[in-house]
Structure 1
Amino acid sequence: MSAKSEAKENGPDSKPMLGNRLFEGHKKYELTEETTCGVWFLRGDFLQRFANQKSYVFLYGLMGLILSAAYSYFNGTITTIEKRFQIPSQTTGIISVGNDISTLLVGAIITYFGGKGHRPRWMAFGLYTVVLFCLLNALPHFLYGPGDDALSLTMEYGGSTIDHNATQDALEKFHSSSLCKAKIESDDGPEAEGSSAPAIILFISQVISGIGGSLYFTLGVAYMDDNTKKSQAPVLVSLSYFIRMLGPALGYTLSSLCLKWYIAPTLTPKIGNGDPRWLGAWWIGWLLLGFIMFVVSSLLGLFPHTLPKAHYRRQISKMSNKSQVEEPDTKASVQDMIVTFKRLIQNKALMCTNGASIFFFFGYMPYWIFMPKYIEIMYKTSASEASLVTGAIGLVFSALGILAGGAVITKYKPKARSMALWNMTVAAISAVGLLSYTALGCPYTHDPVGEIQNGTVNYNSQCNADCHCDYVKYTPVCMNGNPYISPCHAGCKSYVTFENGSKIFTDCTCVKNQTAQGVPLPPIAYPGPCPADCSSQFHIFLVIICILKFVGATGRATNFLVALRCIDEKDKAASMGLGSTLMSSLAFIPSPIIFGYIIDTTCLVWGKTCSGKGNCWLYNAGQLRYVLSFSAAFFVFIGTMFDVGVWYLVKDLNVFDDKPPKPPVVDEELKNLKNDPPKFGEDR
């Protein structure tokens, strides 16, 4: 289409052109409002050179990296947040589904209308809500501070000298309050620190983030697919997924670094980060993530409505197929939205694909949200180490799997049935891998000493019956490999402090020490949990995680292509919005709540206050491992059955549009344009 003919088509009353060149070569074409980068006064040749699919894929992937880092940072700091504000895992699960609740309520609707408008600007608007999400997550720290318990374990507030042996030092006052006492001054226990307000703030922040997350994931991929050739879509989508998948690694690594600092960085802690009472600086990362996200989302909003290269291809296609009647683009309306969603729900292949994803994510959700917590419980690692391992190792293999899957699809262009068959294989391997977790427990850990009564463990036995330990905080002690919840539960009435600052508890009525020959020893206990060597099982667990993440990630591109090609071109954004709504309502919302409840049922030691129970300090690792693994594998297996249905329904689906095209109707204007093709920068 020449500049002269375009002027005729626009007419004398049309808006003036913007003066930027669409193509550089022998012919020059004026940019339209639809293909121009920038907003308001932020326009020009400098921005226009980035109006290509490579720049978009990179920036879209970078934004996904930061977004994924934010969500994984929350997961990496869950245990610290629970300890700081005394939040049970079930409540944490409810908090984590806040973003899915907003996706359920408005995701499909806002995605439908956003898909009809300027999609990059809609994405930028949505991502600003995620910036607010980051700031709100840090707000509870500024409102409530580090907490009295954390302050009491610092040199500035607790006095005494520093001892870097975390399990051998505590404050005199704290030791005294944890001893066995024959009498108590009051029947009232300690009040719960803080209130439910921190949990409410965290929940609200999650709800707000769901708007931006749904717009990013749905409109972003649809915009990418609309502005690329079908043959290039797999590798570009895989590349953006690859960049995005590095985000969780960044998020967990950032949480690991932040948790190594004490929750009050300006104070000097008297315990090390291996102590179960350690609270890391969980709030710092949110400030950094919010700032970076604001900058990148602003840049993403500068992309044009349609990339110039894609706009040129569409003009060629229209001129080549003048004999075909082009279906007009329907304007956004409530009536059209209802018709669109009804059409999508009646698509069997699409609904089976969504069903497979729902059950797969339902089963894997607890391991994504609670993985650092699971590693801490199962293999006795610190919160910092658990976050670092989760992000830096397992998720890197996910990113590599996405790249490998995209490269194979781009090179060999498999049929839809082959892709569906591979999805079935991936699901089956995942189910078997989850079952293998049951064999990877740590045999060197023991539960606290207590008596089993009516199927439950009672830690108030005869030896500590007069100690009144109900409201004593979790302060583990150990003797001869037998752990106790606190010196009080071990019946210890006093302690001895040595010159080097270390301490031992004495006069412990529940501790029976003797030599191999049966000679009795003084009834003493040592501060801190009993040592446990779980390194062998932990390393095997990491190897299996890496294999499962790599294999599972190779199916991302295949699942995406099958879901996108089984619908009409005009329904892409609406289809992804519907899929997000279904995923939120049937997987992302119920799964964390259900599995959070399951995790809480395996708790052995709850923090106790007069107003109720707080967070869990110690779990039954063996019971948790079996219940979690079998439940997750069951849901993934059901998802495999839906993959079988997808395999059956997509036998005639064309993924790469490799059918020979009809002979085009070529006129003189199109002929001249093809003989003298314009150069288009770096995007070919």
Structure 2
Amino acid sequence: LQVFLGALAFSFFAKGFSGSYMKSMSSQIERRFEISSSIVGIIDGSFEIGNLLIMVLVSYLGPRVHRPKVIAIGCLIMSLGAFLSVMPQFLMGRYNYERITVTVDNSSTSVSACSPESSEGGPVTDATETPSAMKNFGCEKTTNSYLWLFVLVGNLLRGIGEAPVMPLGVSYIDDFSKEENSAFYIGLVRSSGMFGPTLGFLLGSYCASLWVDIGIVDINAISINPKDTRWVGAWWLGLLICGTVSFIASLPFWFLPYSLPKEGENGNLKISHLMSKQLFSVFSRVYSIYLSIADFFPALKKLFGNPIFVVYIFLTILQYNSIVGLITYETKFMEQQFNVSVARAIFLIGVVLLPVTILGMFLGGFLIKKLKLHITEMTKFACITFIGAYLLSLLYFMCSCEVLQVAGLTAPYSGLKHLSSLKISFMDSCNDDCGCKLDQWDPVCGDNGITYMTACFAGCKSSSGMGKNMVFHNCSCVEGQGHGLGNSSAVLGQCQRESCTKAFPYFLALQTACAFILALGGTPTYMIMFR
């Protein structure tokens, strides 16, 4: 049993490792394939679809099949899904982000970001344009490639492969361990497995800080940094590692028996003798599975008539409503709302949230063992924790910060804090002769604390430096707000928002509290399902 516990803990580690890594890379995949957030949601949901395709059937047939070998097959399918998801990286060309500033010569150049000649067709817009006009300039995200379908199918395979690991593994423990120890063992396995998501997010943080085409392009020539919303990390690199880990996780299960002696009952009984009595012939085994499938739907109907099971479904809905959607878009939310780089957001999830979750799961299993809770008491305990966490998560709406001040979008060129929708103007007298294009986003931060869509919209006449160190000078729109010529400069990237820096620690503390409370009820829900 100890060998199986170790193997199952590592398989939990493998599935958590690859699952958390995929979650952390959602924004990178969105940018690399130039797809919408809704398609990213479909890709993420394909994992659950794969789970649902066989989860119920596998759980029902569990005791009638060779559970360790089925888990081994599942780990191999997870490995295949991870490797399949990597394929687009080798089939697509290099990633090209939109970059409108042209540099020439070597280390320091002086180029004109604002000049009538900078746009071949002349000005694309004028001061009377409104946000509704943006749709006419290619602002809607479109993709010319459907290679993201490889990622979708790979994620689907990961869901199918992961389906047998939890139900068959936990039922195997429950069948061959003492009743008073099973909850502790399950909590121990799940807690050990949570190191997978921790390392998965840390790997995601590292890969997100690497350029997507690392080893192919000159990194010094890249003019954006990981905080830029156009940055794409090496999302594919971690998937190669995830696939390898899942393959290794499958190996021990091929050598484990169909069944084990009950813990504490004749521990000296030889496994081989026990197996010889319990293994059926191939024909009788297949016939038994056939009869089980015939009884599947009546058993399912009976199951939904069980009030405890209905409560379990209710708890699970609350749990997934609080967790899945948040984790899927959490890195993107942190980036957009709090101006945190994706790499840092993933890192914080890995080193702050997941250790707290591990502690909560372990403590939940320990409390069940210590207090000797029965199934009704476990149901009440889980219900209290999940409802409490769900109500606490409503406080997320209070964790917000000021809107990014972008000239012509959320702030006027005059520098006022608020912009009336009736007075929105993308152009101003300071840049109306620059020939700026509305379909480009290459933000710069002026000395006045205002972000401009491009250096052209800031009215910058010259620049110096290269890559990330480029600085724009003689910016007429910045100068027009009370800055002299010596101070009318702008740098690449968006301006920092002070209120966001102050609000972010509160957001992180609230999320940590919610994660701990949810984890406390995690182990009881597992026991409710199997009892």
User: In which range does the TM-score fall when normalised by the shorter chain?
Assistant: 0.7 to 0.9
483, 487, 495: which one pairs with 2:462? 495
Alpha-carbon distance change, 540 to 189 in structure 1, aligned in 2, over 3 angstroms? closer
2:246 partner amino acid = M
| Uncovered stretches (5+) of structure 1, i.e. residues with no partner | 1-52, 163-168, 317-327, 566-684
1:262 corresponds, among 185, 206, 211, to: 211
- Paired with 1:179 and 1:388, the residues of 2 have a C-alpha distance of 45
Distance in 2 (CA, whole Å) between partners of 1:174 and 1:84 is: 30
Q: Go from structure 1 to structure 2 and tell me whether the alpha carbon gap of 1:172 and 1:215 turns closer, same or farther (over 3 Å shift).
A: farther
Q: If the length of structure 2 is used for normalisation, what is the TM-score?
A: 0.81
Bigger radius of gyration among the two: 1
Match of 1:292 in 2: 245
Does residue 471 of structure 1 match 2:445? no
- TM-score, structure 1 normalization: 0.64
**Alpha carbons 2:186, 2:523 under 8 Å: kept:** yes
8 Å contact kept, 2:475–2:488: yes
1:122-521 mapped onto 2 (5 Å cutoff): 122-149=70-97, 181=119, 183-184=121-122, 195-266=144-215, 267-270=217-220, 271=223, 272-309=225-262, 331-333=288-290, 334-443=293-402, 446-450=404-408, 460-463=426-429, 467-490=435-458, 492=459, 494-497=461-464, 502-509=470-477, 512-514=480-482
Match of 1:66?
Answer: 14
Q: 1:114 touches 1:122 (CA, 8 Å); kept in 2?
A: no
What is the identity, as a one-letter code, of the residue corresponding to 2:387? A
Matched to 2:195, the amino acid is L
Partner Cα separation in structure 1 for residue 363 and residue 236 of structure 2: 36
Amino acid at match of 1:269: I
Equivalents in 2 of 1:389, 1:161: separation in Å? Answer: 38
Residue 544 (1) aligns with residue 510 (2): yes
Query: Would you say the 8 A contact 2:361–2:522 is kept in 1?
Result: yes
What is the CA deviation profile of residues 18-50 of structure 1, one whole-angstrom value per residue up to 9, with x for unaligned ones? Answer: xxxxxxxxxxxxxxxxxxxxxxxxxxxxxxxxx
- For residues 108 and 174 of structure 1, do their structure 2 counterparts lie closer, same or farther at Cα, with a shift above 3 Å needed? farther
Judged with a 3 Å threshold, the aligned counterparts in structure 2 of structure 1 residues 243 and 290 are, in CA distance, closer, same or farther, namely same
Aligned pairs, number:
486
Aligned counterparts of 2:351 and 2:521: Cα–Cα separation in 1: 21
1:459, CA displacement in angstroms? 5.9
Tell me the equivalent position of 1:571.
Answer: none
Report the secondary structure of 1:472's partner residue.
coil
RMSD: 3.7
**What per-residue deviation string (whole Å, max 9, x for no partner) do you get for residues 625-653 of structure 1?**
xxxxxxxxxxxxxxxxxxxxxxxxxxxxx
Asked if the contact 1:275–1:528 (Cα under 8 Å) also holds between the matched residues in 2, the reply is: yes
> Displacement, 1:505?
4.6
Shift of 1:173: 9.0
Give the counterpart letter for 1:294 in structure 2.
F
**Secondary structure in 2 aligned to 1:148?**
coil
Q: Which structure 2 residue ranges, 5 or more long, are not aligned?
A: 126-135, 270-283, 411-418
CA distance in 2, matches of 1:336, 1:499: 70
- Partners of 1:477 and 1:486 within 8 A in 2: no
**Residue-by-residue CA offset, 1:267-322 (whole Å, 9 max, x unaligned):** 33234333433322121111111112101112123211112345956999xxxxxx
Letter in 2 for 1:107: M
Output the amino acid matched with 1:105: L
What amino acid is aligned across from residue 408 of structure 2 in structure 1? G
Deviation at 1:232, TM superposition (A): 0.5
Q: Does the alignment pair 1:532 with 2:497? A: yes
Residue 88 of structure 2 contacts residue 147 of structure 2 at CA under 8 Å; is this kept in 1?
yes
Deviation at residue 93 of structure 1 after TM alignment: 0.4
Q: 2:26 aligns with which of 71, 75, 78?
A: 78
Q: Residue 411 of structure 1: SS of its match in structure 2?
A: helix
2:227 and 2:339 in contact (8 A); partners too: no
Confirm or deny: 8 A CA contact 2:21 2:197 kept in the other structure: yes
CA contact (8 A) 2:110 2:464 kept: no
In 2 relative to 1, CA 372–73 (structure 1 residues): closer, same or farther, beyond 3 Å? same
Structure 2 vs 1, CA of residues 161 and 429 (structure 1 numbering), >3 Å: closer, same or farther?
A: farther
Q: Distance in 2 between matches of 1:275 and 1:407?
A: 44
How far off its partner does 1:499 sit? Answer: 10
Shift of 1:382: 1.1
Paired with 2:63 and 2:117, the residues of 1 have a C-alpha distance of 64
Match of 2:194, SS state, is helix
Partner Cα distance (2:60, 2:425) in 1: 57
Query: Shift of the alpha carbon at 1:83?
Result: 1.8
